[in-house]
Amino acid sequence: MASLNPPFKAMDMEGLYRKIQKGVFDRIPSKYSNDLQTIISMCLRLVPSQRPASEELLNHPLIIKYTGEMP
């Protein structure tokens, strides 16, 4: 959403599948912080069990840094 483009693009479903399997995606525009890039990268990890749950994201120091909320 930050880049107004999907993280993975391809000409066909097979190509899309291969790109998703590699887990390589473009960085979001530079007007956004490295912290946001870090959070996005965490959410797009290849192994589902390594992706943060909603509660983990809400309690992550980078999220707390910008929201000012403490659990």
Q: Per residue in 9-58, pLDDT tens? A: 889 999 999 999 998 888 889 999 999 999 999 999 999 999 999 999 99
pLDDT of 68 reads 78
pLDDT of 52 reads 96
Residue ranges of domains in the chain: 13-67
Q: Examine the pLDDT at 71 and tell me if it is beyond 70.
A: no
Q: Examine the pLDDT at 3 and tell me if it is beyond 60.
A: yes
pLDDT of 43 reads 92
Q: In sequence order, which residues have a C-beta less than 8 Å from that of residue 69 and are 6 or more positions away?
A: none
Inter-residue contact 44 to 23 (CB < 8 Å): yes
